[in-house]
Chain A
Amino acid sequence: MSNSGESVSRNLLRAALWRSFVVAVWLVGSLMALPVAAPAQQAASPGTPPVDGLVADQAAIIDGLAAQVDLDDKAIIDDADNDIRLVEIRLNLEDVLDKVLVSGVAFRPRVSEINNRLEQLGPAPAAGQPPEPERVQQERQALTAEKAEINVLLGKAEDLSVRINGLLTKISTLRRDLFTNLLTKRYELSDTIGNQVTKDVIDEGRTLRQRIGSSLWYVYTFQFKALTTAIFIALLVAAAAHLVGKRLFGALITRDPAIEHPSYVSRLSVAFWSALLPAVAQLLFLVVVWTLFESYSLLNIDVRVFLIGFMAVLALGAVIYRLSHAVLSPDMPNWRLIDVERRPARVLIWLMTALALIVGFDWLAGVISDRLGSPLSVTIVKGLFAAILSGLVIMTIAQVRPFADSKGEPQRWPGWFRAILYIVGVGSIFAAIAGYVSLAQFISAQIVVTGAILTTAYIGLLASRAISEEGGFAKTGVGRWLRSSSSMDDAQLDQLGVLSSVVINILLVIAFMPFVLFQWGFQPGDIAAWMRRAAGGFQIGSFSFSPFAIVTGVIVFVLGYIITRWFQSWLDGTVMARGKVDPGVRNSIRTVVGYAGYALAGLIAISSAGLDLSNLALIAGGLSLGIGFGLQNIVSNFVSGLILLAERPLKVGDWVEAGAVSGTVKKISVRATEIETFQRQTVILPNSILINGAVGNWTHRNRLGRIEVPVGVTYKSDPRKVHEVLLDIVRNHPMILKNPEPTVLFTGFTDIALTFEIRGFLADVYNGAAVRNDLRFNLVDALAREGIELAYTLKPAEKEEASDAIEPAGDTEEGKTEKLASTTQPAPPSAGQKSPPKRARKN
């Protein structure tokens, strides 16, 4: 086993474990990696270069970039065993590649200038033609020379780009090999474990003490003020974050023992936030401490790393403790997410925390050994020790009997879960003893960190599922607030719940995916590169997608939607309501404004998503034939809807009759109109029917309407008397208008009756049925008072009865007049129509 090979895997190990801490710093790091190439370029290109200097400037830039590639090339060889460095180099190289291209493009205006000028000058005269002026010849030569120079430079840039691409491929291969090595690296334990190791470990301890002691002494003597200030600032920031978090989310992270049955949603959200918020504050503290120490170069770099590492390990332990505490909640059984008994819950929490601390300190020990340049054997022994310890802890976890059955007897974990724990625990120990120390460490680190991340994410996922359930959102704080502060009903809250659960899911994936990837050998730089690529878009065929732009488009649309809704309600509720605009008109304007706003928002969103509207027009053109045939009806209804809104032959609240449908207009939308009949049946009428067919509107201009009540009296009655009585009735009804005047018409003679019709106008035609009803009652009473009989037809049985009583001899007219009949209108209400004849007969 070569020495360099050992250092390779030690580095790898360090890299794999280091990730857990660097999560927070990676953004800063990747941002700082970008401007690395800038100085060379700035040095080469002074403020405003003259056009003539273009070639020289770009030559300098390209040379500078080439020098940088040389450096990176060398760095790849030097740091071939350092995953983090390789990713940094790759980012740097990608940056250089971009710059090479930019530099190449910079020649374009000059090249086209030269080409144009050469074209103007024309080709050199052939032999035998008159020679051209010397100045022309000189210019042509100068231009050709410049072009040749540019071509040479472009060739250089081209070669550089090829070289960079080659290096990028090399980096990918190296990193793949590194990860494979990490997992399959085997150490000969018999070689390393011996008396020498004990001595090495003691040596390392002594060196560590010395290093830390001297550094602390130095700081204490010379930089004490800076040190305390830095720690104070970091504490201040963390405390501020903690307080702000508590103030904002305080209700979210405190368990109220008074609540007997907290809902599943609130249990989940408490668990999720109480695990996440303090972790954020701690992370912030570490980042601030690190940044301050770094910028003031407080403490020796090694000691700085140890200190931060130590705090990071403690933070990791705290996070795991809180997370398991949140899930198991031993003290408050009501708040548990998993129903584990109190005692085993406590044990589990401590076991999980212990596992986290073992993994953390193992990592810290690796960092220390690496920094102090300790022999590899020390690292291996420590790794072996940690792997066996964590294996034992995992097996102890498997032994815990967390549940209780109905009789209160402790129950073990489900068989499959126990099996997994045993396999992992035993596997980790055996792997370590067999020499695969890195693999064992990798496994236990994954269990702790990936496990914690996945548990948090899973709690979030469960919460989002609980929110999306029926009535789940209404139980959350936001739901309660929305219900009390706005007029949202349950159905709307449910829809909002489904939407927010989708958003939460997406956020969870976005937030936790990088962490998990990070654990499995991806570097922050990888993710930064992906993000950069994602922002720039990717291509499928000749179409390019940019998730960034798409998200922008969606956000723009949502904003447009919100603004439109707001504008609509402002226009409707403030402007038009104040202006006493008719409700139907209000509705029309509101609808049209809404559609216009949505269309506008959609168009702006599409164009801000980077989509070419002209492409869309092309597709629309191609589809128009299909639309013409297939969507004919829908388009016709759509246009009809617009006409309905603009021309307003009917509006919301109108009483319309279209064909067999009669009722009140409830809603005019773009495709169809909702009409509610008087039986409360909603009829959806396609708009084209309302536009193309004849539609009766009782309330188009006003609600004035005429009602008629036909009456038939026997031939024995005096028509003038009847007319007088009826006119009296209709004139005296309070709801019948005096102008236009009510009338009574003597409409004709039927076989059995003299027929009259009462006609009167109502201010509101909606009262028609009630007034007709009144009139009929009144007229029956009045006619009875005056001794006038209503006409009606006898049924056959009654006819025989009548013929017995009355002389049948030829006097049919007489007989008929005896038989009364009433002709009435078929319109509702019909109940009152049958009673008058009955009453008349009884009389």
Chain B
Amino acid sequence: MQQRAVQQNRADMVKSVVIALTLLATGGQALAASAVNLDNEPRVIIVTEGGTKQEIAVGAGETIEFCSGGCFVTMPNGDREALTGGETLEISGGVGKIK
């Protein structure tokens, strides 16, 4: 019977861990930067992250997430910005603005 009590304890523990993990999973903050294209045409930004340069197309009105751990971005108009992750980039008229 006492063994059952121990098992019960374990089950309770597992339960609380699962609950805690669920809470964490649902409550986790998004650290990635996001880019919003407010223009009526698709825009291309160049993202350098982790040693690779990548061109990312953002459709009109679209929002994308990129850059989880710091990166450099080249805006459609040629301006450059350094991001640490977590910022929101608004592209309007080809000009990027960080909110």
Contact = CB atoms under 8 A, between A and B. Distances in A.
Are A and B subunits of one complex? yes
Interface of A: 97-98, 101, 103-105, 107-108, 111-112, 115, 147, 150-151, 154-155, 157-158, 161-162, 164-166, 168-169, 468, 470, 491, 494-495, 498, 502, 537, 539, 542-545, 550, 606, 609-613, 615-616, 619
Nearest to B6: A498
Contacts of B65: 542
Contacts of B79: 111, 115, 147, 151
Interchain residue pairs A-B with the least CB separation, the first 7: A104-B82, A165-B51, A543-B28, A611-B27, A154-B80, A158-B72, A544-B31
Interface in B5-20: 5-6, 9-10, 13
Given A112-B97, A115-B97, A151-B78, A162 B51 contact: yes
A166 B51 contact: yes
A163 to B, nearest CB: 8
Interface of B: 2-3, 5-6, 9-10, 13, 23-32, 48, 50-53, 65, 68, 70, 72, 78-84, 95, 97-98
Contact of A537 (B9, B26, B31): B31
B30 A616 contact: no
A609 B21 CA distance: 12
B48 A544 contact: no
B51 A161 contact: yes
B interface secondary structure, majority? mixed
B48 A470 contact: no
Contacts of A108: 81-82, 98
A158 B48 contact: yes
A690 to B, nearest CB: 27
A151 B9 contact: no
Contacts of B10: 498
Given A165-B50, A611-B28, A616-B27, A155 B81 contact: no
Contacts of A468: 6
A612 B25 CA distance: 11
20 contacts: A101-B84, A104-B82, A105-B82, A112-B97, A150-B80, A151-B80, A154-B81, A154-B82, A158-B48, A165-B50, A165-B51, A502-B13, A542-B31, A543-B28, A545-B28, A606-B23, A611-B24, A611-B27, A615-B28, A616-B26
Given A108-B82, A619-B26, 15 more contacts: A101-B70, A101-B82, A101-B84, A108-B81, A112-B97, A151-B79, A161-B48, A162-B51, A162-B52, A162-B53, A470-B3, A542-B31, A542-B32, A606-B27, A615-B28
A613 B27 contact: yes
A536 to B, nearest CB: 8
Contacts of A147: 79
Q: Which of B28, B79, B97 has the most CB of A within 10 A?
A: B28
Contacts of A103: 82
Contacts of B72: 104, 154, 157-158, 161
B7 to A, nearest CB: 10
Given A166-B51, A495-B9, A105 B29 contact: no
A348 to B, nearest CB: 35
Contacts of A494: 2, 5-6
A165 B49 CA distance: 9
A623 B53 CA distance: 41
A495 B13 CA distance: 11
Contacts of A161: 48, 51, 72
